[in-house]
Chains A and B, each alone.
Chain A
Amino acid sequence: MREEESLEKGREVGGITGEVRRLIDKYGGGRIPVLVDEKKAEEGLVNEKLLKIYQMGFGAWNLIPLGVLYAKLDKEGCKEAAKKWRRGCADYHLNDLSKKFWTNVCKAIRSTGGGKGNEECENCDRRHAELVEKAENVNVIAYMCVHGLVDFAMPIFVDGEVIAVIFTGQRIPKEGSRWNKEFVEKDGVFSLEKCSKDGVEARKVTLELLEKAEQAYGMTNGILLEKLEEDAREGRGKIEVSPEGVGNIQRELTEAGDHLSRLAQSKYELEKSKAVAGLRGAVARSVADVEVDIERPGKTLPSIVGGISEAAGLICKYFGLDYMLALNLKNEESSFRLLLEHAPCKSPWDKGMWAGELDEEAFRAVEEEISRLSELDDADLWPWRKLPFFEWVSTWLRGKQASKCVATRLNQAGLSPCVLIGGRENGLQLSDFREQDRKDLSKVIGDITTVINVLLFIEELHWAGEAQELFSEDVAHDIRNPVQNLLFMIERLKFGVGHGQVDAIGAQVRRIHKLSERVWLLEQIRKEGLQLDKTGRVGVYEVVMEAVAMVRYMAEEKNVGIKVSPEMKKWRAIQVDRKFFFQAMLNLLDNAVKYSREGTEVRIDGKTDWPNCRIFVINRGIEIKDKYKESIYKRGSRTPEAQMHIRDGSGIGLGIVKAFADIYGKISCKCEPVYGTYDFVTEFQLGITGDIL
């Protein structure tokens, strides 16, 4: 049968594509056959069955054997340039599978010459793979290989990118056929794209090259032609092709390539949708746990963390990442914490290095660096090397040969979680992801970040709940104890009035009154319903002494002295709300006495630099750690040390002091070690806004 007639007959039954499809239906049993064989994922992902089907379909139609195949099959969707393809037929792990598809001619050339033949063939394959990749179209390239055989390179596309190239062909130019003059070697590549009848007698070139190979590899003269005939005899095809035949084969192969590309695309999308569905499922389960168990944070938090970890594991698996880190940038506390780590290898975070706190300047520097990142971005690790804490991130990632990593910066609900995703050992970059993958990844990270935010929110609720419970208990303690005292004191009165009993009852009543005043004042502040007197002039010394008188009884009980600087007598009056100022001073002194060691002294000093004045309240007692310096002024806040040493107290007093300071100036504190104990110094600045008269 003439070649043209054969092609005509083939079209009647659906051509090569029809034949492949028929065979696929037969072997595939309705499933989508794929280039990536799931069952052989461990040993190599090339689906040999599909290639055989393809080979049979192709061979049955074109009478041309399958040659070699280059396959860069990466189910994670990370592309790699053709020039990096190392083998003639590579699986996912770049193992050489090409021998399974070699023809007799291939075997003869590639197995001789001490590997030189194979090397030349591989180089030739690689050059044409690069040509196909650069061509950026679906056309099959026809060319004359380094040994003079007419070959075809068929690209397989996923998302518009070449993921595999199937090399096939191995014919020699038909005797007497004329080929285009461009059929010459150019940069080691023989192109047959523009072949025509009026060009070169190509067969002569082929025979010369085959003879040259035979001589170079020490083969018997004419053996390669014999091998071609052998292939033909085995029913695998003809040995000749004309320029017209090349054109027809190119068209048919392009159709077949389209079909295989669609299959690969379907498989890729299926894999990706499975991956995304898996990720979303993991995230959804976490969210469901949140809904079900919000009342039980002890159970909910591990469950959410488990869900996030599962999602992170899936991300790593499906997007080909070695590790994933989720760091939370905590604005309020100038620190970072590792929310999530999914890494098979040991990292510095195992040693807890991630939990470090930064001073304000360092924190701002890191924040500025992170603010440069968009929602999903490549992060340059180099500038990070100078940043405290992030130097660990940078060092560790660079230790993994990553010069960059993928990072996200998302601001939700006032939080700034910074999610970092590490890459492969050779340093994954965002540009390595396909566009769709990038979108999917961004969405999933967004979902995970949402869950992390929910996690943080629950955590905050949990701690707020605990704090509220403690606060209520502290207030209850401060009310119930004096009432209990009163009940016993009154009972005692039945047996007669003893020395100091009335004073003691008065002290308990004042204790309750003081607390009720504070609670009322704090509530007014909370509701912003406090009416301030803006006209009165207040003598600082006078108010301080009044507050001292109120705490004197308690101080004497503890054998704590109170010393007020007489310099303050000379101060000018200031314009503040007297009642509020008195309450603030009273609370400061009350606190100072309460936390003083027995036998020590509370000192009240002052400095003026009109229109500003500063009041210092100094007491000697327990240590207040730096990290609590801000939080001690929050309503209901008590440091663990305070709770440990002094059962009385509810954290209301300093809340009022802070509210006063916010209106009239500012407050700060420091704790200085002194001979095995600590001086706690509160500095109260007033008149900063010019309210001093």
Chain B
Amino acid sequence: MTKINVLFIDDEKKLVENVAPVLEAKGFEVTATTDIAKAIDALASISFDVVLMDIAMPPSADMDAKALSYGRKTGIEVVRQLRAIKPDVPIVVLTVIRDRAILSDMRGVGISQILIKPEEPERIAEVLKRTVQK
């Protein structure tokens, strides 16, 4: 059976360190990073089945930080950039943000699924599988 190839982006270093081995044990191929620029480069060069990412992250140097409400919406900008490279790759968001306006913005850029932290790793794996199967 072909492994599902996941790109995981989160600024939380410890989470990035731990998500990869857990998901890999559940049959995923994981590329995990805290660096937004590296994530975008990876998406351009590797064929991913799904992206799992945070929304609230410090912006990268080339982003207009003020327009991103100081890190609250950085992920939305990242989603836009990812969409520009791979319009069809499904994106699952794993975030602490529950702000309705931001959640609405996320739906506006075509997020497949939103998971609110903390979420059981098992459920995250299930959601990723289901998203890819769709």
Contacts and interface: CB of A to CB of B under 8 A. Distances in A.
B57 A647 contact: yes
B127 interface: no
A504 interface: yes
B58 A647 contact: yes
B70 A640 contact: yes
A491 B121 contact: yes
A500 to B, nearest CB: 10
B71 A480 contact: no
B70 A644 contact: yes
Contacts of B122: 491
A647 B75 CA distance: 12
Interface stretch (B35-43, B45-53, B79-87, B91-99): B91-99
B22 A491 contact: yes
Nearest to B66: A640
A476 B71 CA distance: 15
Contacts, number: 73
Interface string B54-80: 001111000001100011100000000
Given A489-B18, A644-B71, A477 B58 contact: no
A645 interface: yes
B60 to A, nearest CB: 11
Contacts of A486: 118
Contacts of B99: 469, 473
A689 interface: no
Interface in A454-511: 469, 473, 476-477, 480-489, 491-492, 495, 504, 507-508
Contacts of B120: 487
A473 B72 CA distance: 9
A483 B118 contact: yes
B97 A488 contact: no
A206 B119 CA distance: 111
Q: How large is the interface on A (under 10, 10 to 19, 20 to 34, 35 or more residues)?
A: 20 to 34
B21 A643 contact: no
B130 interface: no
Contact of A647 (B19, B71, B94, B98): B71
Given A557-B13, A645-B58, A647-B56, A485 B96 contact: no
B134 interface: no
B118 A643 contact: no
Contact of A480 (B11, B59, B118): B118
Nearest to B116: A480
B1 interface: no
A266 B87 CA distance: 75
B66 A488 contact: no
B96 A492 contact: no
A640 to B, nearest CB: 5
Contact of B117 (A484, A491, A492, A557): A484
A646 interface: yes
B12 interface: yes
| 6 A-B pairs with the lowest CB-CB distances in the bound complex, closest first | A643-B70, A488-B18, A483-B118, A484-B118, A480-B117, A480-B96
19 contacts: A473-B99, A477-B96, A480-B116, A480-B117, A480-B118, A481-B96, A481-B117, A484-B12, A484-B117, A485-B15, A486-B118, A488-B19, A491-B22, A492-B18, A495-B21, A508-B14, A647-B11, A647-B56, A647-B58
Given A487-B120, A644-B59, A644-B70, 14 more contacts: A480-B116, A481-B12, A481-B96, A484-B15, A488-B121, A491-B18, A491-B122, A492-B18, A557-B13, A640-B66, A640-B70, A644-B65, A644-B71, A647-B56
